[in-house]
Copies of this chain bind each other. A is one copy, B any other.
Amino acid sequence: MPTKPPPPRRAGRPRKTGDAAGGAALSRESILQAALALIDRQGPQAFNIRELAQALKVFPSAIYWYVPSRNELISGAVALAMNGVADDLVTGRWQARLAALLRRYREVLRRHPRLAPLVASELIYNATFDATMLDHLVQLLEDAGFAGADLVDAYNVVFAAMCGFATMELSTAPAEDAQAWESACRAQIARVDAARQPALARHLDAMQNRAFVLRWSSGDGQPLDSGFEAWVDVIVRGVESRARALRTAAKASRPASS
């Protein structure tokens, strides 16, 4: 969410550093940093302004001079965390660039796993992406041969692919009652009936705690690495195949051409 012009702060102006407690001067930056640290520890649900104020050694109301609401604290923290998604993205074949983009996004998100459920949320996600990354994405789709409306579709596909797997992988049980969560999952597994769900039953051992809905360990502590690599593989192959199909369809519709 684009920043409303913050209260003007003269650049080099010396600030009174009243407290000996090492509390750096308050600023939008420092506040969002602290907010991010809190959210990283406790998750967005438990995040609250009063605790944030305490960490910053100010009264809660002081925060409102820099950030107008709790929601914007959260989206600002997410934007901070996602800085650098577009840094030093590789060059090379578009397939390699696409794979790198997906991996990079997951890496960044893995540094702040508790933000994962927020990325899909309405609060956030415009804050999360900068024009540089979007340009990189569009460029690689051009290189793949997409154009016009097909390119827009492909953009949406790749964008959803970028966020999709990692978001689900890292969205995990509420920290409070991990034990209850685990037994709930085991109950779900135990309820599988070999007569009524034969295919599922055949693979239950292999899937247990390794597959969505059937796992209780967090994707943070126990990443689904091979699943993610399969994801990258499927997306790249799929986009490649679709690009080829669209090209031949276009060629067929204008039979005599260079």
Contacts and interface: CB of A to CB of B under 8 A. Distances in A.
Interface of A: 1-2, 71, 116-117, 119-123, 125-126, 129, 131-132, 134-135, 138-139, 142, 148-157, 159-161, 163-165, 167-169, 171-174, 181, 184-185, 187-188, 191-193, 196-203, 206-207, 210-214, 224, 226-227, 229-231, 233-242, 245
A212 B131 contact: no
A240 B206 CA distance: 22
A116 to B, nearest CB: 7
Copies in the complex: 2
Given A164-B161, A168-B120, A211 B156 contact: yes
A230 B154 contact: yes
- Give the interface SS of chain A, mostly helix, strand, loop or mixed: helix
Lowest 4 CB-CB distances: which A-B pairs, in order?
A: A164-B164, A238-B238, A234-B238, A135-B197
Contact of A160 (B173, B206, B231): B231
A59 B242 CA distance: 56
